[in-house]
Amino acid sequence: MKINIPTPLRAFTDKQATVEVAGETVQAGLDALVAAHPELKNHLFTADGKLRSFVNVYLNDDDVRYLPNTEASAVNADDELTIIPSIAGGTGVRASRSLCCR
């Protein structure tokens, strides 16, 4: 399967935007990706092996978190996984509060 790597993580995939891996499930594909590029592990997973909250993984057009079998979902050779960090923010304050920066 092909795994699409987002811009900020390409520093850990030898600048590759896509990585081809073998695997029959989403988890197997991610494991193969991390095996090939070990520095990715801490960026994708928490210490207990779960995907970090801000890391989204899509199997084609489906969020893996919402698939019936989640990471155990079956993957065909022509499927694509896409890793996409979340993008969010905002002032985050009420009108009466001051802006908080560090």
Candidates 42, 50, 69, 77: give the one binding another protein (CB under 8 A): 42
CA 57 to chain centre: 4
Candidates 7, 14, 49, 68: give the one binding another protein (CB under 8 A): 7
Candidates 14, 66, 95, 96: give the one binding another protein (CB under 8 A): 95
* Residue span binding another protein (CB under 8 A) among the ranges 24-32, 67-75, 92-100: 92-100
Long-range contacts of 3-8 (CB under 8 A, 24+ apart): 3/29, 3/30, 3/33, 3/80, 3/81, 3/82, 3/83, 4/80, 4/81, 4/82, 4/83, 4/84, 5/83, 6/83, 6/84, 6/85, 8/85
Distance CA 100, CA 93 (A): 8
Candidates 48, 68, 78, 87: give the one binding another protein (CB under 8 A): 87
The CB-of-67 to another protein minimum distance in angstroms stands at: 14
Residue ranges binding another protein (CB under 8 A): 4, 6-8, 11, 17, 42-43, 54-56, 58, 61, 63, 82, 84-95, 99-102
